[in-house]
Protein backbone atom coordinates (compact mmCIF):
# COMPACT_ATOMS: atom_id res chain seq x y z
CA UNK A 1 0.00 0.00 0.00
CA UNK A 2 1.44 3.36 -0.94
CA UNK A 3 2.14 5.97 1.70
CA UNK A 4 -0.32 8.37 0.07
CA UNK A 5 -3.18 5.84 0.07
CA UNK A 6 -2.43 4.97 3.69
CA UNK A 7 -2.55 8.68 4.65
CA UNK A 8 -5.88 9.16 2.86
CA UNK A 9 -7.37 6.11 4.60
CA UNK A 10 -6.18 7.36 7.99
CA UNK A 11 -7.73 10.78 7.31
CA UNK A 12 -11.02 9.22 6.24
CA UNK A 13 -11.03 7.02 9.35
CA UNK A 14 -10.30 10.00 11.65
CA UNK A 15 -12.90 12.21 9.96
CA UNK A 16 -15.49 9.44 10.22
CA UNK A 17 -14.63 8.93 13.87
CA UNK A 18 -15.15 12.61 14.62
CA UNK A 19 -18.68 12.42 13.22
CA UNK A 20 -19.56 9.09 14.83
CA UNK A 21 -17.79 9.19 18.23
CA UNK A 22 -20.13 10.51 21.01
CA UNK A 23 -18.05 13.35 22.42
CA UNK A 24 -20.37 16.38 22.25
CA UNK A 25 -22.14 17.18 25.58
CA UNK A 26 -25.76 18.29 25.08
CA UNK A 27 -29.10 18.45 26.83
CA UNK A 28 -31.09 15.53 25.44
CA UNK A 29 -34.90 15.45 25.47
CA UNK A 30 -36.23 12.08 24.34
CA UNK A 31 -39.25 9.80 24.38
CA UNK A 32 -38.57 7.36 27.24
CA UNK A 33 -39.89 4.33 25.30
CA UNK A 34 -38.99 5.38 21.74
CA UNK A 35 -35.58 7.02 22.00
CA UNK A 36 -35.51 7.69 18.26
CA UNK A 37 -37.93 10.55 19.04
CA UNK A 38 -35.54 13.11 20.48
CA UNK A 39 -33.95 16.49 20.19
CA UNK A 40 -30.77 18.02 21.54
CA UNK A 41 -29.87 21.48 22.76
CA UNK A 42 -26.34 22.78 23.10
CA UNK A 43 -27.62 26.05 24.62
CA UNK A 44 -29.75 24.10 27.10
CA UNK A 45 -26.59 22.35 28.24
CA UNK A 46 -24.41 25.48 28.34
CA UNK A 47 -26.84 28.19 29.49
CA UNK A 48 -29.51 26.20 31.29
CA UNK A 49 -33.17 25.83 30.43
CA UNK A 50 -36.63 26.25 31.90
CA UNK A 51 -39.73 24.11 31.85
CA UNK A 52 -43.02 25.97 32.18
CA UNK A 53 -46.45 24.50 32.71
CA UNK A 54 -49.94 25.27 33.96
CA UNK A 55 -50.25 24.00 37.53
CA UNK A 56 -52.88 21.27 37.86
CA UNK A 57 -54.36 22.61 41.12
CA UNK A 58 -54.22 26.41 41.08
CA UNK A 59 -54.13 26.73 37.24
CA UNK A 60 -51.35 29.35 37.44
CA UNK A 61 -48.29 29.19 35.20
CA UNK A 62 -45.11 27.79 36.82
CA UNK A 63 -41.57 28.00 35.46
CA UNK A 64 -38.77 25.78 36.83
CA UNK A 65 -35.18 26.77 35.96
CA UNK A 66 -32.46 24.14 35.47
CA UNK A 67 -28.70 24.20 34.88
CA UNK A 68 -26.34 21.37 34.10
CA UNK A 69 -23.66 20.45 36.61
CA UNK A 70 -21.46 17.82 35.06
CA UNK A 71 -23.87 15.11 33.92
CA UNK A 72 -26.58 16.12 36.40
CA UNK A 73 -29.47 18.60 36.24
CA UNK A 74 -29.95 21.12 39.04
CA UNK A 75 -33.24 22.95 39.62
CA UNK A 76 -32.14 26.28 41.04
CA UNK A 77 -35.38 28.20 41.22
CA UNK A 78 -39.07 28.19 40.43
CA UNK A 79 -41.36 31.11 39.57
CA UNK A 80 -45.14 30.98 39.77
CA UNK A 81 -47.93 33.50 39.34
CA UNK A 82 -50.24 32.40 42.14
CA UNK A 83 -49.42 30.93 45.51
CA UNK A 84 -51.56 28.22 47.04
CA UNK A 85 -52.30 24.52 47.03
CA UNK A 86 -49.64 22.38 45.42
CA UNK A 87 -46.88 25.02 45.57
CA UNK A 88 -43.98 23.95 47.82
CA UNK A 89 -43.31 25.79 51.05
CA UNK A 90 -39.78 27.26 51.25
CA UNK A 91 -39.23 25.65 54.66
CA UNK A 92 -39.63 22.25 52.97
CA UNK A 93 -36.35 22.98 51.16
CA UNK A 94 -33.39 23.83 53.43
CA UNK A 95 -31.67 27.05 52.31
CA UNK A 96 -34.42 28.04 49.86
CA UNK A 97 -35.38 31.72 49.64
CA UNK A 98 -38.96 32.88 49.00
CA UNK A 99 -39.65 36.33 47.55
CA UNK A 100 -42.18 38.29 45.55
CA UNK A 101 -40.94 39.63 42.17
CA UNK A 102 -42.37 41.38 39.11
CA UNK A 103 -42.72 37.92 37.48
CA UNK A 104 -44.68 36.54 40.44
CA UNK A 105 -43.51 34.53 43.42
CA UNK A 106 -40.09 32.93 43.38
CA UNK A 107 -38.39 30.24 45.40
CA UNK A 108 -34.65 30.32 44.73
CA UNK A 109 -31.64 28.42 46.04
CA UNK A 110 -33.55 25.15 45.68
CA UNK A 111 -30.56 23.19 44.35
CA UNK A 112 -32.49 19.96 43.72
CA UNK A 113 -30.14 17.67 41.77
CA UNK A 114 -31.23 14.77 39.56
CA UNK A 115 -29.47 12.49 37.08
CA UNK A 116 -32.39 12.83 34.71
CA UNK A 117 -35.79 14.44 34.77
CA UNK A 118 -38.69 12.22 33.69
CA UNK A 119 -42.07 13.79 33.00
CA UNK A 120 -45.18 13.29 30.86
CA UNK A 121 -46.16 15.80 28.21
CA UNK A 122 -49.32 17.30 29.65
CA UNK A 123 -52.53 18.14 27.87
CA UNK A 124 -53.81 20.80 30.27
CA UNK A 125 -50.32 21.64 31.56
CA UNK A 126 -49.19 22.79 28.09
CA UNK A 127 -45.53 22.13 28.93
CA UNK A 128 -42.97 24.38 27.28
CA UNK A 129 -39.19 24.12 27.12
CA UNK A 130 -37.26 27.43 27.07
CA UNK A 131 -33.61 28.06 26.30
CA UNK A 132 -31.56 31.22 26.12
CA UNK A 133 -28.92 31.92 23.53
CA UNK A 134 -25.60 33.60 24.35
CA UNK A 135 -27.27 37.03 23.91
CA UNK A 136 -29.93 36.25 26.52
CA UNK A 137 -32.77 35.89 23.99
CA UNK A 138 -35.19 33.20 25.15
CA UNK A 139 -36.91 30.78 22.78
CA UNK A 140 -39.91 28.69 23.85
CA UNK A 141 -40.76 25.28 22.40
CA UNK A 142 -44.00 23.56 23.32
CA UNK A 143 -43.29 19.90 24.03
CA UNK A 144 -46.57 18.79 22.40
CA UNK A 145 -45.07 20.01 19.10
CA UNK A 146 -42.39 17.29 19.44
CA UNK A 147 -44.14 14.51 21.37
CA UNK A 148 -47.69 13.19 21.64
CA UNK A 149 -49.57 14.30 24.79
CA UNK A 150 -49.03 11.95 27.75
CA UNK A 151 -45.73 10.69 26.30
CA UNK A 152 -43.16 10.02 29.01
CA UNK A 153 -40.03 12.02 28.18
CA UNK A 154 -36.54 12.24 29.67
CA UNK A 155 -34.33 15.31 30.07
CA UNK A 156 -30.69 14.40 30.63
CA UNK A 157 -27.13 15.39 29.81
CA UNK A 158 -25.62 13.08 27.20
CA UNK A 159 -22.62 12.92 24.94
CA UNK A 160 -23.64 12.54 21.31
CA UNK A 161 -21.80 12.39 18.02
CA UNK A 162 -21.58 15.43 15.77
CA UNK A 163 -23.68 13.59 13.16
CA UNK A 164 -26.41 12.76 15.70
CA UNK A 165 -26.41 16.37 16.91
CA UNK A 166 -26.68 17.76 13.35
CA UNK A 167 -29.77 15.63 12.67
CA UNK A 168 -31.56 16.17 16.01
CA UNK A 169 -30.70 19.61 17.37
CA UNK A 170 -32.99 22.57 17.90
CA UNK A 171 -31.72 26.08 17.50
| pLDDT digit string, tens, across residues 69-80 | 999 999 999 998
Domain that holds residue 50: 23-168
Tell me if 15 is assigned to some domain: no
Reference 90, options 74, 103, 108; nearest CA is: 108
Whole-structure pTM value = 0.84
Mean pLDDT of 22-40: 93
Alpha-carbon distance of 8 to 140, in angstroms, equals 45
Tell me if 12 is assigned to some domain: no
- When divided into structural domains, the chain yields a total of 1
How many other CB atoms are found less than 10 A from the CB of residue 106?
A: 17
Tell me if 3 is assigned to some domain: no
Alpha-carbon distance of 35 to 5, in angstroms, equals 39
Amino acid sequence: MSKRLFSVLVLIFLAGGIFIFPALPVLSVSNRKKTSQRFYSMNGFRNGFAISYTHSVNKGRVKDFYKSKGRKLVCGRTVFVSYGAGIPEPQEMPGAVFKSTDEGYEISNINRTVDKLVMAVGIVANHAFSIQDKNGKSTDYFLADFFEPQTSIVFQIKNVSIADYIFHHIK
